[in-house]
Amino acid sequence: MDYVFVHGTTQSPAAWRPVEDLLRRRGHQTAAVDLPTDRPELRAVDYAAIARAQAGDALAPILVGHSGAGLLMPAIARALGASHLVWVAAMVPGPVSLADELAADTGGEMFDPEWRSLTEPPTADPVVASYFLFHDCDLAGVRAGLRTLRLFYPAATYREVHDLPDLPSTYVLPREDRTLRPSWMRRAARDRLGVEAIEVDGGHCPQTSRPDTLAAILGAAWPGRP
């Protein structure tokens, strides 16, 4: 099976390497796209075209997106002809833009209040990044995670409405996430994707803290799995 990975807004494609290595050992093909971080004016369809160009010969791949990449998943899925979507602690687009959803979210339903109170990107401070992203890692995991830090701010996509494709989905929900609220993720998986989230221990970046667990879930999402 082919897998295509999309990084979120705080890590580079390098964050997927531990999971990619595990899947490749099992005979799967993988590609991690590298979206431009200096083009905030790009729309979702523009990022989708970039992903298509980088995905090589991936055939009806399973598309895996982390965190803020959830907003790009619908457009990229269409561009790649994806067969299945896996949302890893990811934002799931709703009927309005993210900007409008956050403006209406006066009760802080989507994001953890501490995360939303940040005035600087978490990627700018390793202490802040460790607290929010890698708090469930051992020392080696924290060091590995910090090496993947990179800010990605696709600002124009926050003002777009992203229509979900009619494709099967898997949602991976870290129970101790300090960015997106687990309660919001459960509801989004159920109400927007029509699935019950697969809950795992740990924080926002299971690809860093629990690559074995995530690789096992991805393997189970494979349509051709016996």
Can you give the pLDDT at residue 106? 67
Q: What pLDDT does 108 receive?
A: 76
Structure-token match 């965190």, residue found: 67
CATH topology for 2-220? Answer: Rossmann fold (3.40.50)
DSSP symbols for 173-213: EETT-SSB-HHHHHHHIIIIISS--EEESS-S-HHHH-HHH
Distance CA 64, CA 3 (A): 7
Question: Given the DSSP bridges, would you call strands 84-88 and 29-33 parallel, antiparallel or unpaired?
Answer: unpaired
pLDDT tens sequence for the chain (226 residues):
999 999 999 999 999 999 999 999 999 999 999 999 999 999 999 999 999 999 988 889 999 999 999 999 999 999 999 999 999 999 999 999 999 999 887 667 999 999 989 999 999 999 999 999 999 999 999 999 999 999 999 999 999 999 999 999 999 999 999 999 999 999 999 999 999 999 999 999 999 999 999 999 999 876 655 4
Residue at token pair 């109170």: 117
The torsion angle over the Cα atoms of residues 52, 28, 204 and 93, rounded to 10 degrees, is: 40
DSSP state of 11: B
DSSP state of 51: H
pTM over cut 0.85:
yes
Domain ranges of the chain: 2-220
Number of H helices, E strands in the chain: 10, 6
Give the list of residues 6+ apart from residue 100 with CB closer than 8 angstroms, or none. Answer: none
Nearest residue to 216 (alpha-carbon basis) of 33, 72, 82, 25: 25
Q: How distant, in Å, are the alpha carbons of 32, 72, 75, 157 from that of 45?
A: 18, 8, 6, 9
DSSP 3-state of 53: helix
**H or E element: which one contains 25?**
helix 17-25
Q: Are 204 and 89 in contact (CB under 8 A)?
A: yes
